[in-house]
């Protein structure tokens, strides 16, 4: 990989910059398993369900996808639904409450390897953006002390307000590249989710880097990653970029 071929880096947040994917996983687990128990469903929600139906998708899409896997249909509701509502929106809002509680109690520390790459690219002058399905992206970046590196943030909040399709559609990544003023062919996408690497491939970006935090190298490549790393520190070492 030669950074001279690229002018921008478009990072997913959860699982790429910060280990908040673990917090999201715990929040989804609590919400879905509480819901299933209340309905008398014996088959529990598992981590495999997270990677298959939820990971990387906008919140309500994740709810809808998992429920469909269990042949459960709920009314859509809307974003103003209370957390007690038995609707797609209500369950999504319940999950968000659980996430915010865990984040407030435990905070978040970014991956050291990701910090090293971001700081190296900032020194180099590479433009950077965050492209996240999470509506909490700015709060997470602030908590992690990383927000100053990302003048462009396209989160689930902005995507919803502007009618941008979520991952695996490429729209949010394309929007971020446009805001940075960089052609897609000169931008690198960094993703740990299958829906995210699929979005990068669908957008025909210059390079799609899969970050394997548990989903598996083969699955990331099959869904669109050009290369896969276990930690972004590898790209600091391999490219010779230094902070």
Q: Per the residue annotation, which of 2, 5, 7, 12 is the catalytic one?
A: 12
Q: Per the residue annotation, which of 2, 5, 7, 14 is the catalytic one?
A: 14
49 counts as catalytic: no
Is the Cβ–Cβ distance between 56 and 133 less than 8 Å? yes
The tokens for 76 are: 């859509």
Q: What is the DSSP letter of 168?
A: T
231 counts as catalytic: no
What phi-psi label fits residue 171: left (phi over 0), alpha (psi between -120 and 50 degrees) or beta? Answer: alpha
Helical axes 88-106 vs 137-144, angle rounded to 10°: 10
Strands 227-229, 207-211: parallel, antiparallel or unpaired by DSSP?
parallel
Q: What is the DSSP letter of 14?
A: B
Please list the residues that pair with 11 across neighbouring strands.
Answer: 130, 190
Please list the residues that pair with 8 across neighbouring strands.
Answer: 127, 187
Beta-carbon count within 10 A of 4 CB: 7
List active site positions: 12, 14
């Amino acid at each position: 990989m030669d950074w001279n071929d690229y002018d921008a880096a478009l990072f997913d947040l959860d699982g790429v910059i910060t280990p908040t994917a673990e917090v999201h996983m715990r929040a989804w687990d609590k919400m879905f398993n509480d819901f299933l128990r209340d309905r008398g469903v014996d088959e529990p929600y598992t981590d495999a369900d997270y990677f298959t139906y939820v990971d990387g998708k906008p919140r309500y899409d994740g709810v809808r996808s998992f429920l469909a896997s269990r042949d459960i249909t709920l009314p859509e509701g809307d974003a103003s639904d209370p957390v007690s509502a038995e609707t797609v929106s209500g369950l999504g809002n319940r999950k968000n409450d659980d996430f915010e509680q865990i984040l407030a109690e435990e905070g978040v520390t970014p991956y050291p390897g990701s910090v090293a790459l971001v700081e190296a690219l900032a020194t180099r002058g590479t433009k950077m953006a965050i492209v996240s399905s999470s509506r909490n992206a700015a709060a997470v970046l602030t908590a992690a002390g990383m927000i100053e590196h990302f003048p462009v943030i396209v989160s689930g909040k902005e995507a919803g307000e502007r009618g941008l399709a979520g991952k695996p559609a490429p729209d949010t990544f394309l929007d971020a590249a446009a805001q940075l003023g960089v052609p897609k062919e000169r931008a690198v996408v960094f993703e740990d989710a299958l829906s995210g690497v699929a979005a990068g491939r669908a957008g025909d970006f210059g390079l799609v880097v899969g970050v394997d935090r548990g989903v598996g190298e083969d699955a990331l490549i099959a869904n669109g990653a050009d290369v896969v790393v276990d930690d972004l520190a590898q790209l600091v070492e391999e490219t010779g970029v230094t902070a």
